[in-house]
Chains A and B, each alone.
Chain A
Amino acid sequence: MLHIVACIKQVPDTKVAKINPKTNTIDRASAPAILNPYDAHAVEEAVRLKKRYGGVVSVLTMGPPPAVKAIRKCIELGADEGYMISDRAFAGADTLATSYALAKALEQIAKQRPIDLIICGKMTIDGDTGQVGPGIARRLDIPPLTGVNKVVEINKEKGYAIVHRKLEDGYEVVKSTLPCLFTVEKEINDISFAPLPNMIKAARYHPTIWTADDLENVDRKQLGLKGSPTIVSKIWTPPKPKGGELLEGTTEEKVEQLLSIVLEKKELFQS
Chain B
Amino acid sequence: MNLEDYRGIWVYIEVKDGNVAPVSLELLGAGRMLADKRGTELGGVLIGSGVKPLATTLFAYGADVVYVYDDPIFEHYRTEPYMRALLDCCHKHKPEVLLYGATPTGKDLASAIATDLPTGLTADTTILDIEEDTGLLLASRPAFGGNIMATILCKKYRPQMATVRPKVMKALSPDPARTGRIIEEQIELHEEQMRTKVLEVVRETVKKARIDEADIVVAGGKGMGSKEGFQLIHELADVLGAAVGASRDVVEAGWIDHHHQVGQTGVTVTPKIYFAIGISGAIQHIVGMQNSELIIAINKDPNAPIFQACHYGIVGDALEIVPLLIKRLKEELPKLNASADAKEEIRHA
- Knowing A233-B152, A258-B296 touch, does A245 contact B124 (C-beta < 8 A)? no
**Residue in A37, A139, A175, A269 with the greatest tally of chain B CB atoms within 10 Å:** A269
Q: Is the CB of B324 within 8 A of A246?
A: no
B291 within 8 A of A: no
Q: In the bound complex, what is the Cα–Cα distance between A258 and B332 (angstroms)? A: 13
Least CB distance from B275 to A in Å reads 9
Flag the segment in B32-40, B45-53, B89-97, B140-148 that touches A. Answer: B140-148
One digit per residue, 1 when the CB lies within 8 angstroms of any chain B CB and 0 when it does not, for chain A 260-271 equals 011101101111
Q: Is the CB of A128 within 8 A of B264?
A: yes
Q: In the bound complex, what is the Cα–Cα distance between A129 and B123 (angstroms)? A: 5
Q: Is the CB of A268 within 8 A of B215?
A: yes
Q: In the bound complex, what is the Cα–Cα distance between A268 and B199 (angstroms)? A: 41
Q: In the bound complex, what is the Cα–Cα distance between A230 and B321 (angstroms)? A: 47
Residues of chain A within 8 A (CB-CB) of B314 are 246-247, 254, 258
Q: Is the CB of B202 within 8 A of A171?
A: yes
Residues of chain A within 8 A (CB-CB) of B199 are 162, 172-175
Q: In the bound complex, what is the Cα–Cα distance between A166 and B116 (angstroms)? A: 24
Q: Is the CB of A128 within 8 A of B123?
A: yes
Q: Is the CB of A244 within 8 A of B111?
A: no
Flag the segment in A52-60, A143-151, A197-205, A206-214 that touches B. Answer: A143-151
Chain A residue at minimal CB-CB distance from B248: A15
Q: In the bound complex, what is the Cα–Cα distance between A134 and B79 (angstroms)? A: 10
B272 within 8 A of A: yes
Residues of chain B within 8 A (CB-CB) of A128 are 123-124, 142-143, 145, 264-265
Chain B: interface size category: 35 or more
Chain A: interface size category: 35 or more
Q: In the bound complex, what is the Cα–Cα distance between A80 and B80 (angstroms)? A: 32
Residues of chain B within 8 A (CB-CB) of A165 are 104
B44 within 8 A of A: no
Least CB distance from A71 to B in Å reads 23
Chain A residue at minimal CB-CB distance from B271: A268
Residues of chain A within 8 A (CB-CB) of B203 are 167, 169-170
Nearest first, the 7 closest Cβ-Cβ pairs linking A and B are: A14-B145, A229-B120, A134-B111, A129-B123, A230-B120, A138-B115, A244-B310
A-B contact pairs, 20 of them (CB 8 A): A12-B144, A15-B248, A15-B252, A95-B111, A96-B121, A128-B142, A128-B264, A130-B107, A133-B111, A144-B112, A146-B104, A146-B108, A167-B203, A168-B104, A172-B201, A174-B78, A236-B151, A244-B297, A244-B311, A255-B321
Chain B residues with CB under 8 Å of chain A are: 76, 78-80, 103-104, 107-108, 110-112, 114-116, 118-124, 138, 142-157, 195-204, 206, 210, 215-216, 240-241, 248-249, 252, 257-258, 264-265, 272-273, 283, 294-297, 305, 307-316, 320-321, 324-325, 328-329, 332-333, 336-337, 340
Name 11 extra pairs, CB < 8 A, besides A174-B78, A176-B195.
A37-B252, A128-B265, A134-B111, A138-B112, A146-B79, A170-B203, A230-B122, A240-B305, A240-B308, A243-B313, A268-B273
